[in-house]
Structure 1
Amino acid sequence: MASAGDVGGARQPGADAAEDLMRAVEPLVDGLAATFGPHCEVVLHDFRHPESSIRALAGSVTSRHIGGAMSEIGLGVLAQGDRAEDRLNYLTRTPDGRTVKSSTLVLRTGSGQVIGALCVNLDITELRIAATSLAALVGSASEPEATATTFFSDDIGEVMETVIAQEESALGRVLPRDTRKGRLAIIEALDAKGVFKLPRAVQQVAAHLNVSRATVYADLSATRAPGTGA
Structure 2
Amino acid sequence: MNRDDLTLESLVMIAHGIARHFGSDCEVCIHDLQADDLEHTICYIINGHVSGRKIGDGASKIVLGTLEALKKGENVSDHLGYKTHTTDGRILKSSSVFLKDETGKYRFILGINHDMTNFINAQATLSSIVENFEAAEEDVYGQIPLSVNDLLENLIEQSVRIVGKTPALMTKDEKIKAIKFLQDAGAFLITKSGDKISQFFGISKFTLYSYIEQAKTVNE
Shorter-chain TM-score bucket reads 0.5 to 0.7
Instruction: Tell me which of 45, 59, 62 is aligned to 1:57.
Output: 45
8 Å CA contact retained: 1:44, 1:56: yes
Name the counterpart of 2:208: none
Q: Distance in 2 between matches of 1:91 and 1:137?
A: 26
Cα displacement string for residues 113-143 of structure 1 (whole angstroms, at most 9, x for unaligned residues): 1111001110010100110121122239xxx
Pairwise CA distance, 1:112 = 2.4
Instruction: Tell me which of 118, 125, 134 is aligned to 1:133.
Output: 125
Q: Distance in 2 between matches of 1:77 and 1:19?
A: 22
SS in 1 for 2:50: coil
What's the Cα RMSD here?
Answer: 2.0
Cα displacement string for residues 71-92 of structure 1 (whole angstroms, at most 9, x for unaligned residues): 1222112222262210000111
Name the counterpart of 2:60: 71
Q: Which runs of 5+ in 1 are unaligned?
A: 1-10, 141-230
Q: Distance in 2 between matches of 1:35 and 1:104?
A: 17
8 Å CA contact retained: 1:87, 1:104: yes
Cα displacement string for residues 122-179 of structure 1 (whole angstroms, at most 9, x for unaligned residues): 0010100110121122239xxxxxxxxxxxxxxxxxxxxxxxxxxxxxxxxxxxxxxx
C-alpha distance 83-18 of structure 1, shift in aligned 2 (>3 A): farther
Q: How many residues align?
A: 126
Q: Distance in 2 between matches of 1:21 and 1:38?
A: 24
What amino acid sits opposite 1:98 in the alignment? R
Name the counterpart of 2:101: 109
Matched, 1:92 2:80: no
8 Å CA contact retained: 1:100, 1:123: yes
Identity of aligned residues (%): 32
Q: Distance in 1 between matches of 2:99 and 2:26?
A: 20
Higher relative contact order (CA 8 A, sep 6+): 1
Q: Which runs of 5+ in 2 are unaligned?
A: 133-220
8 Å CA contact retained: 1:84, 1:114: no
Q: What's the TM-score once normalised by structure 1's chain length? A: 0.51
